[in-house]
Amino acid sequence: MASRTICFTIQVTLVVAFLTTKVVLSDDTVPIPANKAQLGEWYNTNVGPLDQRKSTVDPALVTAEEGAKVVKVMQDGSGEYKTITDAIKSIPSGNTKRVIIYIGAGNYNEKIKIEKTKPFVTLYGVPEKMPNLTFGGTAQQYGTVDSATLIVESDYFVAANIMISNTAPRPDPKTPGGQAVALRISGDKAAFYNCKMYGFQDTICDDRNRHFFKDCLIQSTMDYIFGSGKSLYVSTELRTLGDMGLLL
């Protein structure tokens, strides 16, 4: 990324920065170090709770966070919904308040899309029992970018403690259309914390706009991340599957 400018927004903690090869400035003029080894210290020092940063961020986001509500998705029926898709459908078009979708443990075999008209959505799982959002779509079936298990087109999206996997078979180099995306993120100002993305090829479509990934895992055999997004990946592991590697 020698000459390319990378932009990102840290969701909820609300820091906007522009990363260049020398120095980056956040919206409150705190410099981000060019030395990546110092990035963790910068993050811990300068990223704080919302109530400490309200004057520096988008007023619409402040309003959204102050009116946040939680809905639960539980496969055993103990929540408001049994599927993530149904929970997303319940969010009104033009949503202006943070909706935190708390997802219980389990495998959710769903192809999920959060449309552009539904900003301020959070998908949240418990770290010790991370839910797995999984589907087996391929480029041959849907086209590459639309093969994703999770497609996010809306702004101000957050995911925390979530697994996202595409379980389509490992692509055969001799057969076209085997690419299978786990995540496509297209909306602006999105953040992913402690999330694990699994696939064999084209695992993340970092499609466009600004995104922030911290403490994540991205597993693949090739083309781990592709797209035109302007994103920052901090303490994030790229894991390569061997010839006999299994998806999970």
Residue found under tokens 């956040």:
26
* CA 121/CA 68 separation, integer angstroms: 10
pLDDT of residue 228: 93
Q: What is the DSSP letter of 30?
A: P
pLDDT of residue 248: 55
Q: What is the DSSP letter of 172?
A: P
- pLDDT greater than 90 at residue 53: no
pLDDT of residue 247: 53
DSSP H helix total and E strand total for the chain: 4, 22
Q: Find the distance separating the first CA and the last CA of the chain, reported in whole Å.
A: 30
* CA 84/CA 74 separation, integer angstroms: 9
Active-site residue 58, yes or no? no
* CA 123/CA 44 separation, integer angstroms: 23
- What's the whole-number average pLDDT of the chain? 84
Between the CA of residue 84 and those of 94, 115, 173, what are the distances in Å? 19, 14, 34
Q: Are 84 and 113 in contact (CB under 8 A)?
A: no
Burial of 24 per CB tally in 10 Å (0-12, 13-18, 19+):
buried
Q: Are 151 and 112 in contact (CB under 8 A)?
A: yes
Per residue in 104-148, pLDDT (tens digit) is 999 999 999 999 999 999 999 999 999 999 999 999 999 999 999
pTM of the model: 0.82
- pLDDT greater than 60 at residue 23: no
Mean pLDDT across 189-205? 95
pLDDT of residue 35: 82
pLDDT of residue 54: 81
- 46 vs 141 pLDDT, higher one: 141
Beta bridge mates, 219:
198, 239
Mean pLDDT across 24-38? 64
Per residue in 71-106, pLDDT (tens digit) is 999 999 999 999 999 999 999 999 999 999 999 999
- pLDDT greater than 50 at residue 16: no
Q: What is the DSSP letter of 201?
A: B
| Options 27, 58, 215, 223, the catalytic residue | 223
- pLDDT greater than 60 at residue 15: no
**Among candidates 226, 247, 109, which has minimal Cα distance to 170?**
247
What is the arrangement of strands in the sheet containing 204-206, beginning at the earlier edge strand? 112-114, 150-152, 183-185, 204-206, 225-226
Say which CATH architecture domain 57-240 belongs to. 3 Solenoid (2.160)
φ, ψ of residue 29 in degrees (nearest 5): 65, 20
Candidate from 16-20, 61-65, 155-159 with smallest mean pLDDT: 16-20
Residue found under tokens 């090829």:
201
pLDDT of residue 19: 32
Tally Cβ neighbours within 10 Å of residue 227: 19
